[in-house]
Structure 1
Amino acid sequence: MNLVTLLPFIVLIGAMFLMTRSAKKKQQAAAQMRDQMTPGTGVRTIGGMYATVKEIGDDTVTLEVAPGVHAIYAKNAIGAVLEDAEYNRIVHGTTDDLTIDTPVVPDDASSLTGKDADETPKLDLGKKDEPKDDEPKDGKADGEPGAK
């Protein structure tokens, strides 16, 4: 057989070998990450839910998803084991370790203008409150009777 005809098959087999090797490495890294879980550790599931580990079984893990609410998940459903500071920042909104250099934007715009909400002038949007004397009240220009 000719070497040129075998070359595509050799390249294909080599690519498959590399893909399975990298997939195995990812699986080993994920298993090692899950082994770091201990009760009290903050985790994120593959569905994006944040919870605290309560108990660890052989193939399952019990998570506290809210105070007093426990759910049983497969260990494979754990997407990330989080450090305490990161978990508290995401779930509880604590910024103990963070320093904010940018100014905080206020929730209401009245503090930006320096005026109270009662002092805000009304804008003329072109609406007419009442018809003028020379305009007919029924909206007809020629004075014909009829409803709008």
Structure 2
Amino acid sequence: MSLVTLLPFIVLIGAMFLMTRSAKKKQQAAAQMRNDMQPGTGVRTIGGMYATVKEIQDDTVLLEVAPGVHAIYAKNAIGAVLDDAEYNRIVHGDDDELDADGTVVPDDASSLTAGESTDEDAADDVAKIDLGKKAEDAAPEDAGTKGSEIKSSEVKDAKADGEGDAK
């Protein structure tokens, strides 16, 4: 066999070696991260739930998912160990950068509508739109179809009875 025919196989084996090596490095880094967990650390599970570590066993972790609510998870279910600042930003909405700027977020939307008219004033300003046709607009007289003329009140009555829904 020539070197030309063996070359694709050599490249394939080398690529597989590199892929498995990088995958092993990622697994080792994840295992090291899980081993470095301490009680009180904020974590994200692989399912996307944020919790605080309460106890660590050999293969399991006791997580506090809400105040007073505890759940036992496998250590492999921990997707990321978060630092305190990131955990507080995500879970509690604490953001030190915004506090330093003096940005204030209102608890309700009342400040957004300050100085505008009330709902009653707005209701008076809205134009009334009548979507029903007038009896004289239903069909032109020159069309020659006097039997097809339908009054708008008959259409409304038919819809109220449920006849308009059947097709």
Q: Show structure 2 runs of 5+ residues with no match.
A: 138-148, 152-156, 159-167
Higher relative contact order (CA 8 A, sep 6+): 1
1:44 and 2:44 aligned: yes
Distance 2:104 2:68 in 1: 37
1:3–1:110 Cα change, 3 Å: closer
Q: Corresponding residue for 2:113?
A: 111
Distance 1:127 1:73 in 2: 59
The TM-score with structure 1 as length reference comes to 0.76
1:19–1:8 Cα change, 3 Å: same
Task: Please tell me the residue identity of whatever aligns with 2:73.
Answer: Y
**CA offset digits 1:106-128 (Å, max 9, x no partner):** 73697077222221022322346
Q: Secondary structure at the match of 1:98?
A: helix
Total equivalences in the alignment: 137
**CA offset digits 1:73-96 (Å, max 9, x no partner):** 111110011111111111112223
The TM-score with structure 2 as length reference comes to 0.69
Calculate the aligned-residue CA RMSD, in Å.
Answer: 3.2
Q: Secondary structure at the match of 2:96?
A: coil
Query: Percent sequence identity over matched residues?
Result: 66
Q: Secondary structure at the match of 1:37?
A: coil
Task: Please tell me the residue identity of whatever aligns with 2:130.
Answer: G
Structure 1 or 2: larger helix share? 2
